[in-house]
Amino acid sequence: MGRQRSSRPPAENSGQRGDGPAAGSYDIDTGTAELIPDGDNPDGWLLKLNGVQSSHVDLSDPLRLDFEYMRWIVALVESQWATASFPAPARHRVLHLGGAACSMARYLVAAYPDSHNLVVEIDSRLADLVRIWFNLPRAPQLKIRAGEARAVTESLPDSSRDLIIRDVFAGPVTPKPLTTAEFTAQVHRVLAPAGVYVINCGAPPSLVVARQEAATLAAEFAHTVIIADPPMLKGRRYGNIILAGSDAPLGENPLLPRTLLGGAMPAQLWNDRQVRQFGRPAAVLTDNPRPLPRDHPSSPPIHAADPSTPAPPPAETP
């Protein structure tokens, strides 16, 4: 989405550390941020970026996550870190690709005080505002780095993170450079053994995007899972699908399916076999995909030029 102009609130509500949240629209580097009070919770605030709901923060309770997909991620991570396959580290090292209001990082600091969370946010102005509004924990528990998610990931040492969460959107989609096999290989390199890579995939009802992401993830990791509500997995609506990959078994904690079914929006857990079957019709995403040959069954049909007869639309390519 292009940059939107808006008037910034008065200086007394926009520049001094410790001001706290103030409702209104704010110019940021990538457009406009809007901070909206939660009408049902006096301590709750909703952050919208360029008109899209991005984060929710409860100032009095960092362990409260209003977005269902974030609760699914937490359920998976906490079930994984409680299993014998995950060696307990001296501290939990987490990389968050995509920051917004840092809701997930804030949660993990509260749940795992030993954790070190690096949040990568491309919009430096937004990062400054979020620190002012929400009184976030300081480094080393929570550090925000302004930068592009792929470039920062590629700069990190091997085996330096136990958990990587990708939650990056430009409008309704994740930028392609963060979805490819080449980037996924960089994530794999940065993860420690038994580390987990979690993807928040915004998927339209066609499920083409989700299948491509599943195929790409399964090509890189030995174990995969998917979490989503049943209507989303049946292609009935646009929504969030959580995918995760690891070299260690995933989703085997028996408490996880029950936790997912018990939420306000019950979700299903798909195992590795189901994920690979789901992604099988799709091609692995790459930085430089080769064009399909004209006679490939997935290529759009070629129609003779006939101004009197409109050509049918090309078939959607998984």
Indicate the domain borders of the chain: 11-58, 68-279
**CB of 127 closer than 8 Å to CB of 47:** no
Share the mean pLDDT of the chain: 86
Q: Where are the beta strands (DSSP E) in 50-149?
A: 52-58, 93-97, 116-121, 142-146
| pLDDT tens by residue, 175-204 | 999 999 999 999 999 999 999 999 999 989
| pLDDT tens by residue, 100-128 | 999 999 999 999 999 999 999 999 999 99
Output the pLDDT for position 306: 32
Q: Homologous superfamily of 68-279 in CATH?
A: Vaccinia Virus protein VP39 (3.40.50.150)
**Region of poorest pLDDT, from 1-10, 124-133, 213-222:** 1-10
As given in the structure block, the two tokens for residue 153 are: 């990931």
**Phi and psi (nearest 5°) for 97?**
-95, 110
| pLDDT tens by residue, 268-304 | 999 999 999 999 999 999 999 876 555 544 433 323 3
As given in the structure block, the two tokens for residue 241 are: 């699908």
**CB of 316 closer than 8 Å to CB of 207:** no
H/E element, 152 = helix 149-155
Mean pLDDT throughout 35-45?
96
Output the pLDDT for position 84: 59
